[in-house]
Amino acid sequence: MHATVRQMLLAVVTVALITLSGECRAATVETGKVTLTKDTTWEGDIVITGDVHVPEGVTLFITPGTTVRFRKIAPDGDRNLFGVESPYYPQAEIIVTGRLVAKGTTERPILFTSAEVNHEPADWGSLNFLGSKGNVVEHCRIEYAYNGVHSHGGQVLVKDSTFVKNAVAISVKKEDAAVGTPGFGIPADITVTGNLIEDNKGGINVRISKAKITSNTIRGNKFFGIWIKGKCDGEISRNEITANQKGIFFYKAGGMIIKDNNIFGNIDYNLAIADEQGKDIPAAGNWFGMTDRSKIEELIFDGKADPSLARIIVAPFLTERVGDAGR
């Protein structure tokens, strides 16, 4: 009898130690090439083996601490739901025409990542919002995607999250080519606030859409921090934009309010415009890391360097760093 009691106590202690050491985890769940039919909650360890579609009228909830890992799929395989042409991806993705609510916490963020041993950008497709509303991506870490967050005509709040090692961290636009696809012809509506966007090939790309980009740290991205294409309503404010190849890049752009940012130390230019930019870009009221106007203008590519281009108007510029800019 004494032996039995000792065995029972040992079992209880063992379970307690496993729980305290964090080794007691929810079982891994694999899913893919599936359309959800009802509101669904993910928790624990989720492995995606093909496209997951969240259709209209359905919400996918992802709980704090969940890890979502995407396996590489063959672009000519059978794991895509809707083909591989835009607005879809050859890689596995979560396609949201309903609603996604991924809300982690500071202590227990949600992780979206590659399931590959040797992971690299574009191992998986995107959190792909197509014409859907009420989506939330908060306290998440998103890595090794083609586009971490992508939207055609969708409404998304991206808050207090980290994007690293993606091809492009966030890319949103009004789809004007893929006729008949969800979100066609509708400007995206995205709020990006309080995020770290670092060490991607590109940071944030907005095309003919509405975007509020505030209080982010956008640094060390290979090609650009922010790229504005076409007429875009919204604002870029209180961000720290540094160490990107180009800080903010403009193509046929207009409509965006750009103020109270720290835009400095980018590799080629802090601000630059592309060919076919017909209208001047107002960008007064930002801090460029210095107060010498001639040196500020050396890191701006516009009509002063190429008379065929429009100008970027930076004066009056701030003479002190914006103290509360960035994440």
224 closest CA partner among 256, 281, 269, 254:
269
Q: Could you tell me the CA-to-CA distances from 9 to 13, 115, 311 in Å, in that order?
A: 6, 39, 77
Domain ranges of the chain: 26-313
CA distance 227 to 245: 12
Task: Output the pLDDT for position 6.
Answer: 45
Mean pLDDT within 176-199 = 93
111-139 pLDDT, tens digit each: 999 999 999 999 999 999 999 999 999 99
Q: Which residues pair with 237 in a beta bridge?
A: 214, 259
Range scoring the smallest mean pLDDT among 13-27, 44-58, 244-258, 298-312: 13-27
Task: Output the pLDDT for position 103.
Answer: 98
pLDDT range class, residue 26, cuts 50, 70, 90:
low
**H/E stretch holding 179:** none
CA distance 57 to 38: 8
Task: Output the pLDDT for position 96.
Answer: 98
pLDDT range class, residue 2, cuts 50, 70, 90:
very low
Q: Could you tell me the CA-to-CA distances from 16 to 6, 10, 23, 44, 67 in Å, in that order?
A: 15, 10, 10, 19, 24
Q: Could you tell me the CA-to-CA distances from 198 to 220, 237, 268 in Å, in that order?
A: 5, 18, 17
323 vs 4, higher pLDDT = 323
Distance of CA 185 to the CA centre of its chain: 22
Task: Output the pLDDT for position 201.
Answer: 98
137-161 pLDDT, tens digit each: 999 999 999 999 999 999 999 999 9
Contact 177, 153 (CB under 8 A): no
The SS3 of residue 12 is: helix
Task: Output the pLDDT for position 8.
Answer: 38
63-84 pLDDT, tens digit each: 999 999 999 999 888 999 999 9
pTM over 0.85: yes
